[in-house]
Amino acid sequence: MHVSPAARCSVLLLTGALLLTACGSSTSTSGKSDGSTSQGVTLDNRGQEVTVKGPPKRAMSLNQGTTEIMLSLGLADRMVGTATWTDPVTKHLEKANAKVPRIADNAPSFEKVLGTEPDFVASSFASTLSKGGVAPREKFEEVGVPTYLSPADCEGKDNSGSGDGSRTKPLTMDTVYREVRELARIFGVEKRGEKLVSQLRGRVTKAKAATDAEGATVLYWFANRDSPFMAGCCGAPGIITNTLGAKNVFDDDTQEWPQINWETVANRNPEVIVLGDLTRESQTAETAAQKIAFLESNRVTRHMEAVRKKRYVRLSGQAMNPTIRTVEGVEKVAAALRSYGFDG
């Protein structure tokens, strides 16, 4: 799904470069909030201390997840581009998003990214900043452009194998909240970050308090009709099911998105199916409508309880990924489970 990185022989070396590698805990050396971080920020990446010398002014976001965090923090005027979209931007961010150029719907070339002269590059996924993605992080560092990788895609996660990696421990929203705080600190808008985290926490608490779906069995289908990507135990769908007391029918699989045959899916016979409703076109059966048409016509799947009773939940791809939109996933799955009678 990625575009191979293109070589670029020369590039403007940017001043005030961040020497940054993410996935670790962080501390701030500045007491300021919502202003310039004049004394810098120190990030600890698994024991390696790196320093941010000033707030970025020409940021590039290579994935929708980091894009929506930046836009939520009011940083559109400091962004020179976005890329790799699975869904329309969340509605309340449409106006801000319209101000930022989209340089590619999917993964852009390394050369195209550098053409925007970024002083900071953020990504939600390790695969984006690796060989076969936009470019390895080292390539950006060589030309003086610092990179940031979401901690949700590396903390407690093994990305060394094929596919989307596997979880060594369950993801929680605290890791997503830490990403919000780290990006807010990098840009010198810490108060905005705390406000956003507080709002997200409140929404999760409200959805959890209104729903008790203990015992309800749920399947998460992200994409692909022939070799479907289903959610394993411990990524963003795990946050949703654990918050609501439900059970993922593939909670015995630690892979982020294992590809599972339909016979195995049918044998698990979920009571509710959560469907990725994507607008991209890189896999088969991207939209929820396409998925439902397949489920109801396929001889193996049409007899599953969820299909017979049409118990579907449509979610954006971002709500099924470890992003701030995972909160949207908690809310929508909670509402659907209540409507289907799975509430205590």
CATH label, 26-200, candidates 3.40.440.10, 3.40.50.261, 3.40.50.970, 3.40.50.1980: 3.40.50.1980
- Percent share of the chain, pLDDT over 90: 73
pLDDT at 257 over 70: yes
The per-residue pLDDT of the chain, averaged, comes to 87
Are 39 and 71 spatial neighbours (Cβ–Cβ below 8 Å)? no
From CA 158, how far away is CA 244, in angstroms rounded? 26
* Cβ proximity of 196 and 173 under 8 Å: no
* Per-domain residue ranges of the chain: 26-200, 212-339
Fold: same for 26-200 and 212-339:
yes
pLDDT tens by residue, 191-246: 999 999 999 999 999 999 999 899 899 999 999 999 999 999 999 999 999 999 99
* Rg of the chain, C-alpha, whole Å: 20
Residue 319 structure tokens: 């709500």
Say whether pTM exceeds 0.95.
no
The answer to whether 12 and 117 are in contact (CB under 8 A) is yes
Could you report the per-residue pLDDT of 102-131, keeping only the tens digit for each? 999 999 999 999 999 999 999 999 899 988
Residue 329, both tokens? 């996933």
Q: What CATH number was assigned to the domain covering residues 212-339? A: 3.40.50.1980
Residues present in the chain in total: 344
Cα(250)–Cα(240) distance, rounded to whole angstroms?
14
Cα–Cα distance for residue pair 13/35, rounded to 1 Å: 25
Residue with tokens 């108060």: 191
In degrees and rounded to multiples of 5, residue 256 shows phi and psi of -60, -55
33 phi-psi bin (left φ>0, alpha ψ -120 to 50, beta other): beta
User: 39: pLDDT confidence band, cut at 50, 70 and 90?
Assistant: low
Beta bridge partners of 223: 229
